[in-house]
Amino acid sequence: MNWGGPEFVLAIIALSTGGWLVNNWIRAKHGYSLEDEWGGKTERSDGAETRALKAENRQLHDKIDAMQDRMVVLEKIVTDRGYTLRDEIEALRDKPANGDAGVKLTIREGETA
């Protein structure tokens, strides 16, 4: 290959242009501002679809925040020391099982329940 020939210069120009195009494509894909050929930045303009998606995203974030607040309240209720479910269950376990706890059924012979 002739390093001083026009093919080498054209190859460098083609590679540089291709790299610039790929760089701008990646930046546009991920929402960054684009570079023009003189190094200046061109800000991305949001279309109607992007504005609608941002509004929906904001609404969903608000819902999540509200749900997190509710979850905090529920966690406080469940973990509160005054919550006596465990004590009530233990009290039921401690009751004697001598038959006085239930309703007695009197079933006579020949009758069906």
Query: In the predicted model, what is the mean pLDDT of residues 96-104?
Result: 60
pLDDT (tens digit per residue) in 10-33: 999 999 999 988 988 888 888 777
Q: Domain map of the chain by residue range?
A: 1-43, 50-95
Q: Where are the alpha helices (DSSP H) in the chain?
A: 6-29, 48-79, 85-94
36 or 92, which is more confident: 92
pTM: 0.37
Nearest-angstrom CA–CA distance, 64 and 71: 10
Confidence bin at 73 (pLDDT 50/70/90): confident
- Angle at CA of residue 11, ends 8 and 17, nearest 5°: 145
Rounded CA-CA distance 61/58 in Å is: 5
Type and span of the H or E element at 83? none
